[in-house]
């Protein structure tokens, strides 16, 4: 059976960096990522007392993505402002040839920018798979959808990324 | 012909069952379109996985500042590889490092604070272990 962190501090120590990377890749900037991490850990702290033994990863990532979705709903009332330097780099890149653009796929800035253009459900599935390293089954538990939906979202997300990056 | 396009990502992620995997591999081996798509999706997947792992800003979670944990489980291979390289470096270093000179009684005395008896009547020098005080000093 999976070992379960017993305290909030243990969750913060063991999973803090993973939560931060998830938050950063979904929001695209450190300030929002910091806020999201704080919110997630607050929810973990409140929720640990009622945690039922089972899949801790599924529980943790369900809390994390729910916190993210709540933040998105709040943001719908106020537009987000991408970092100016990121926009400048993206605009400059659009004048390059398709081959040169394809070569730049390995550059993190462009990938981050493309991730932010994905629909939220594709973005979270791709990030949970490729950044956090969860299995499809764990993602299905976290997102509360059938595993076939996870499979489809990850693939369609990658296909969209491919189109955005070329 | 039906192209199993949505199986491409699952194949790359090791998420196809044995039968599905066999069918997929057989199809891609004879379908140029799916082979090209596999290559493209693999490139994107690798690109996202190559995003740098960001360190938690210090002070954001003070409880986590001292912790170093692997972010991606699928990076376990690299941890193992790094450990293997380290083991080889250590082994090579051990081979090329000259053997230490034999210890003398003086060496032992200086390292361990032992008393050394040099009475020639008893042959080679003897090393006498320092006396260990028992219990708390009174």
B41 touching chain A per CB within 8 A: yes
pLDDT band at residue A132, thresholds of 50, 70 and 90?
very high
Q: Residue A125: count other Cβ atoms within 10 Å of its Cβ.
A: 31
Is the confidence at residue A89, as pLDDT, over 90? no
Is B53 close to A13, i.e. CB distance below 8 A? no
Is A12 close to B61, i.e. CB distance below 8 A? yes
Phi, psi (degrees; rounded to nearest 5) at B15: -110, 10
Is the confidence at residue A67, as pLDDT, over 80? yes
Task: Please give the span between the terminal C-alpha atoms of chain B, in angstroms, as a whole number.
Answer: 93
pTM above 0.90, yes or no: no
**Nearest to residue B55, comparing CAs of B44, B41, B66?**
B66
Give, for B128, the enclosing helix (H) or strand (E): strand B126-128
A28 touching chain B per CB within 8 A: no
Rounded Cα distance, A85 and A104, in Å = 17
DSSP label at B75? G
Average the pLDDT over each of A137-141, A157-161, B133-137 and give the range with the smallest value: B133-137
> How far off is chain B from A20, nearest CA to CA, in Å?
6
User: How high does pLDDT run on average in chain A?
Assistant: 81
pLDDT band at residue A25, thresholds of 50, 70 and 90?
very high
Is the confidence at residue A102, as pLDDT, over 50? no
> Residue for token digits 């993602």?
A139
DSSP label at B127? E
Is the confidence at residue B103, as pLDDT, over 80? no
> What pLDDT, on the 0 to 100 scale, is given for residue B2?
80
Q: Which is more confidently placed, B59 or B117?
A: B59
Is the confidence at residue B123, as pLDDT, over 50? no
Is A41 close to B44, i.e. CB distance below 8 A? no
> Which residues in A lie closer than 8 A to residue B71 (C-beta atoms)?
17-18, 21, 131-133
pLDDT tens digits for B16-59? 999 999 999 999 999 999 999 999 999 999 999 999 999 888 87
ipTM: 0.77
């Amino acid at each position: 059976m999976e070992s379960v962190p017993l305290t909030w501090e243990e969750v913060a120590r063991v999973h803090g960096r993973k939560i931060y990377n998830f938050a950063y890749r979904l929001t695209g900037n450190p300030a929002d990522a910091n806020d999201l991490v704080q919110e997630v850990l607050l929810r973990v702290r409140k929720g640990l007392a009622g945690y039922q033994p089972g899949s801790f990863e599924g529980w943790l990532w369900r809390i994390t993505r729910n916190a993210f979705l709540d933040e998105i709903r709040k943001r719908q009332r106020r537009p987000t402002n991408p970092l100016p330097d990121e926009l400048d780099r993206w605009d400059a890149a659009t004048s390059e040839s398709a081959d040169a653009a394809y070569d730049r796929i390995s550059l993190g800035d462009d990938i981050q920018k493309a991730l932010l253009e994905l629909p939220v459900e594709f973005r979270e599935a791709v990030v949970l798979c490729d950044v956090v390293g969860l299995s499809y089954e764990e993602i299905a538990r976290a997102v509360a959808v059938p595993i076939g939906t996870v499979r489809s979202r990850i693939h369609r997300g990658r296909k969209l990324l491919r189109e955005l990056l070329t | 012909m039906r192209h199993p396009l949505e199986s491409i990502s699952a194949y790359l992620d090791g998420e196809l069952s044995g039968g599905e995997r066999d069918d997929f591999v057989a199809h891609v081996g004879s379908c140029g379109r799916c082979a090209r798509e596999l290559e493209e999706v693999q490139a994107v997947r690798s690109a996202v996985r190559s995003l740098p792992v960001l360190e938690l800003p210090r002070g954001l979670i003070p409880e986590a500042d001292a912790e170093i944990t692997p972010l991606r489980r699928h990076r376990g291979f690299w941890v193992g590889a790094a450990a293997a390289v380290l083991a080889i470096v250590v082994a090579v270093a051990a081979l090329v490092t000259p053997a230490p000179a034999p210890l003398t009684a003086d060496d032992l005395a200086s390292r361990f604070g032992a008393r050394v008896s040099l009475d020639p009547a008893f042959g080679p020098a003897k090393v006498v272990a320092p006396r260990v005080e028992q219990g708390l000093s009174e």
